[in-house]
């Protein structure tokens, strides 16, 4: 059974500092890993999709890495801004079950 863990559960940083969010998963036989952002009470916004054959993916200030063999992904957010305050979720996709398995999320607060 696939398990996804995100540590820490919450993170508070001053504006301008780089953010490092961690995601680990137990079963390395995945097709892809997706990072999402969720604002309070809202739906999920897709940030980055990393295919299993890729090592990293970049979009603007965001960079996500994937080490499938060790079951880890890291999301880096450069030069954080108060608008980056949200919960960040990672999810892995396996063909079996046709579903995304999510971590519990990391709640980020960027202080001005």
Partner 1 sequence: ETGVTQSPTHLIKTRGQQVTLRCSSQSGHNTVSWYQQALGQGPQFIFQYYREEENGRGNFPPRFSGLQFPNYSSELNVNALELDDSALYLCASSLMGVLNTEAFFGQGTRLTVV
Chain residues in the site for partner 1 (CB under 8 A): 4, 31-32, 34, 36, 41-46, 49, 51-52, 89, 91, 93, 97-105
Shortest Cβ 18–partner 1 spacing (Å): 24
Could you count the other beta carbons within 10 Å of the beta carbon of residue 19?
19
Rounded to 5°, the CA angle 40-46-14 comes to 55
CB of 99 to partner 1, least distance (A): 4
Rounded CA gap, 82 and 62, in Å? 15
Nearer to partner 1, 16 or 42 (CB): 42
Tokens representing residue 20 in the block? 């490092």
Contacts of 96 (CB under 8 A, 6+ apart): none
Min separation Cβ 28 and partner 1, Å: 16
Nearer to partner 1, 55 or 99 (CB): 99
The distance of closest approach from Cβ of residue 107 to partner 1 in the complex, given in angstroms and rounded to an integer, is 9
The position carrying tokens 């046709």 is 98
When the beta carbons of 34 and 80 are compared against partner 1, the nearer one is 34
């Amino acid at each position: 059974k696939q398990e996804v863990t995100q540590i820490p559960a919450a993170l508070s940083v001053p504006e301008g500092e780089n953010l490092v969010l961690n995601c680990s998963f137990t079963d390395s036989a995945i097709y892809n890993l997706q990072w999402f952002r969720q604002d309070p009470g809202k739906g999920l916004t897709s940030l980055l999709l990393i295919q299993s054959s890729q090592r990293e993916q970049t979009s603007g200030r965001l960079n996500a890495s994937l080490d499938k063999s060790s079951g880890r992904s890291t999301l880096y957010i450069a030069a954080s801004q108060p608008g980056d305050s949200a919960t960040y979720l990672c999810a892995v996709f396996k063909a079996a079950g046709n579903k995304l398995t999510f971590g519990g999320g990391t709640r980020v607060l960027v202080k001005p």
